A and B are shown apart, each in its own frame.
Chain A
């Protein structure tokens, strides 16, 4: 059978969701942001809540997310997305509100907003992209940078004595009674992408049932910041990031799993 006989509309099995705009993504080649954007939009499409969803994207690589996601978006100051999302959700409790934040945003400058939004049990969903680095500004050290990891501001590797320990924000937030669903996923392989999509779906479902704050951390690569090729950066992530940031559910239905 010729390839032209296969490429027909009736044989279509997968195409980019219409909730992603046709604008080319501004991310580096191989960056996990694009995949995370797409599965988030696929979940919103499957739930049929495009017109009822409001996203908040603060500063970071994903600051231009409003150009790519075809839902209503609000730009927030650096780190303040959970505060802005709180306001939107309290004015409009029937809408779905999510924030899309990086690790420099959520774990550094926005720590207070994130922790207090979680502690108040705001009924929002946080998508947290963790690549252990400030990708947008040139690969500086973030709170989530691994011990010994080289960045542009820790060129000899992160020294725990002078630079402190990496911050596991997701485990920290799971301890708070206001959070309902907390999980850590990744998007580097087809299996992990499908799992991450299920996790985002579960997070939005728990928001629908007013159960409290849901957080999906996505451990991602930053090949430009890590100075690697995309495939090599994914392999480095599996070897180095996952032992420190293990994948899986941390809190389901308000109960901690695996005694974390």
Chain B
């Protein structure tokens, strides 16, 4: 089976740090930063870069729609 590799891009200033994406991720890719954005929220970021498979679950549940998902099929 071809392996998928994904990446997410979070709109840092619009993220409200609700952590719904962190719970929805099947591979525990997402974590919250220690820094805060201009609104004062700890925003989400992709902590484990290799574990993401680009399933887009995080983006689907994100209430603010701040997550963009990219995916490639690895040829091995």
**Residue positions of A touching B, CB distance < 8 A:** 1, 3, 5-8, 11-17, 20, 24-25, 27-35, 38, 187-190, 193-194, 229-231, 234
Contact = CB atoms under 8 A, between A and B. Distances in A.
Interface in B13-42: 13-14, 16-20, 22-24, 41
Contacts of B62: 34-35
Interface of B: 5-7, 9, 13-14, 16-20, 22-24, 41, 46, 49, 54, 56-57, 59-72, 74
Contacts of B65: 16-17, 20, 34, 38
26 contacts: A6-B6, A6-B70, A7-B7, A7-B9, A7-B70, A8-B70, A11-B70, A12-B70, A13-B54, A13-B69, A14-B56, A15-B68, A16-B68, A24-B13, A27-B64, A29-B17, A30-B18, A30-B63, A33-B63, A188-B61, A190-B57, A190-B61, A193-B61, A230-B19, A231-B22, A234-B23
Contacts of A35: 61-63
Contacts of A27: 63-64
B12 to A, nearest CB: 12
Contacts of A25: 63-64
A7 B68 CA distance: 9
Given A13-B54, A234-B20, A1 B70 contact: no
Contacts of A189: 24, 61
Given A6-B72, A8-B70, A20-B65, A14 B60 contact: yes
B72 A11 contact: yes
A7 B49 CA distance: 12
A188 B69 CA distance: 19
Nearest to B54: A13
Secondary structure dominating the interface of B: mixed
B8 to A, nearest CB: 9
A198 to B, nearest CB: 13
Contact of A14 (B14, B59, B64): B59
A212 B13 CA distance: 42
Nearest to B70: A11
A27 B71 CA distance: 30
B63 A31 contact: yes
Nearest to A11: B70
B14 A24 contact: yes
A3 B41 contact: no
A31 B18 CA distance: 9
B44 to A, nearest CB: 11
A29 B41 contact: yes
Given A3-B49, A190-B24, 7 more contacts: A1-B72, A16-B66, A27-B63, A29-B18, A29-B41, A35-B62, A234-B20
A33 B16 CA distance: 14
Nearest first, the 3 closest Cβ-Cβ pairs linking A and B are: A30-B18, A34-B63, A29-B16
